[in-house]
């Protein structure tokens, strides 16, 4: 393991659908997809984690995927850009993906924000209060 990252890294096992937390342990979202770059030697390396319902919808495909994409477009006001977290901000990969930065410096995808504000905030005990 190099710097808290598995070696070799298996995208489908170590990254996809894992919870992302910031340096303080606050949830950021889930890894919906990854961005890969092909190296000159033919291997691939992860350059960014992608978070957002549109990229998840594209990955899932089919009817459910199209519904996720439509919902992302509707809640995003036509904007479908995912939250892109460069892989150099990944501090550790374990049962979750820990970042080396705080969540407030990241732009929250529209559906994540809507769910957090309208649904999760109404659940008793969902706050961070002691």
Mean residue pLDDT across the chain: 77
What's the pLDDT score for residue 41?
Answer: 92
Kindly report the number of other CB atoms within 10 A of residue 130's CB atom: 3
Question: Do residues 27 and 19 make contact, with C-beta atoms less than 8 angstroms apart?
Answer: yes
Kindly report the number of other CB atoms within 10 A of residue 79's CB atom: 12
pLDDT band (50, 70, 90) for residue 4 = low
Segment 88-125, tens digit of pLDDT: 999 988 888 999 999 888 876 666 666 667 777 777 87
Rounded distance between C-alpha atoms, residue 22 and residue 106, angstroms: 10
Residue range 34-49: mean pLDDT, rounded:
90
Residue range 51-77: mean pLDDT, rounded:
74
């Amino acid at each position: 393991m190099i710097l808290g990252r598995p070696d070799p890294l298996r995208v489908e096992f170590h990254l996809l659908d894992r919870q992302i937390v910031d340096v303080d342990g606050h949830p950021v979202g889930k890894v919906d997809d990854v961005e890969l770059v092909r190296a000159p030697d033919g291997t691939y390396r992860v350059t960014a984690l992608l978070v957002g319902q549109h990229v998840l919808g594209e990955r899932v495909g089919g009817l459910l995927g199209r519904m996720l994409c439509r919902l992302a477009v509707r809640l995003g006001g036509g904007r479908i850009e995912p939250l892109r977290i460069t892989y150099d901000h990944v501090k550790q990969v374990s049962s979750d993906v820990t970042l080396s930065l705080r969540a407030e410096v990241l732009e929250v995808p529209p559906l994540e924000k809507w769910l957090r504000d309208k649904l999760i905030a109404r659940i008793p005990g969902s706050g961070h209060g002691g």
